[in-house]
Amino acid sequence: GQQLNQSPQSMFIQEGEDVSMNCTSSSIFNTWLWYKQDPGEGPVLLIALYKAGELTSNGRLTAQFGITRKDSFLNISASIPSDVGIYFCAGQLGGANSKLTFGKGITLSVRP
Amino acid sequence: GAVVSQHPSWVICKSGTSVKIECRSLDFQATTMFWYRQFPKQSLMLMATSNEGSKATYEQGVEKDKFLINHASLTLSTLTVTSAHPEDSSFYICSAISGGRAADTQYFGPGTRLTVL
């Protein structure tokens, strides 16, 4: 099925650094979501975006819904070791019960 | 946030046997639940959409007779892997829709690791 584009597959940063992740699609979505998954666990919702241009923060995380509705980015500021994990973006086109389309995920490593 | 649980968290079974995985929404009613499968180092792939009281909608390529889904109540959906084979070994994750402002978001369970010997 369709997937969103996330690259690179892995990112390595130093503790305290900021990091930005991008997610792009060839088609538009009405909702963009960012999830974090730890090994052996289910994804945990970080930020949900419902409107083109929307910029939303959750602690050290900031995400934006692209104006074209075909992209979104997630910023993590002042990274800490527990930020390690896999970050997935997901797009949703329909209403509340419509399915999500996931990106392949970016594995983030944080060096102490 | 909304809480979704899965049981069991892991299971090992012999080839040819059937395995049932439960997904529960603990603090909200979920009219729709989703079942995903995730292979190592890969993304989540949607298997089926489960609506309470009706038949599940399966994604293309997912065998409905092999992956039986029952959504008998607003807080419980089950996935039964019938006649499991080693290639069915995977991480199975469910999600559920909660209402209100987060109506468009899905909350995920912790996943079930299935290993078929």
Position B2 scores a pLDDT of: 74
> CB-based contact (8 Å) between B5 and chain A?
no
Determine contact, residues A40/A50, Cβ cutoff 8 Å. no
What distance in Å separates the CA atoms of residue A86 and residue B55, rounded to the nearest whole number?
33
**pLDDT confidence tier of residue B101, bands split at 50, 70 and 90:** very low
Average pLDDT over residues A65-88: 96
Query: Residue A48 belongs to what H/E stretch?
Result: strand A44-49
Instruction: Please name the residues between 69 and 88 in chain B that touch chain A, using a CB distance below 8 Å.
Output: none
Q: Chain-wide mean pLDDT for chain A? A: 93
Q: Cβ of A49: how many Cβ atoms within 10 Å?
A: 23
| Mean pLDDT across A83-96 | 90
Report CA-CA distances (Å) from A110 to A10, A11, A78, A84, B7: 11, 9, 11, 6, 32
B4 touches chain A (CB under 8 A): yes
Instruction: Quick: pLDDT tens for B52-99.
Output: 888 899 999 999 999 999 988 889 999 999 999 999 999 999 999 865
* Higher-confidence position of B37 and B98: B37
How far, in Å, CA of B57 to CA of A75, rounded? 35
Buried b (16+ CB within 10 A) or exposed e, B25-55: beebebbbbbbbbbeeeebbbbbbbbbbeee
Nearest Cα of chain A lies from the Cα of B91 at a distance, in angstroms, of 8
pLDDT value for A1: 54
Chain segment A9-63, per-residue pLDDT in tens: 999 999 999 999 999 999 999 999 999 999 999 999 999 999 999 999 999 999 9
Q: Is B45 on the interface with A (CB under 8 A)?
A: yes
Is B105 near chain A, with CB under 8 Å? yes
Q: What is the mean pLDDT of residues A80-100?
A: 89
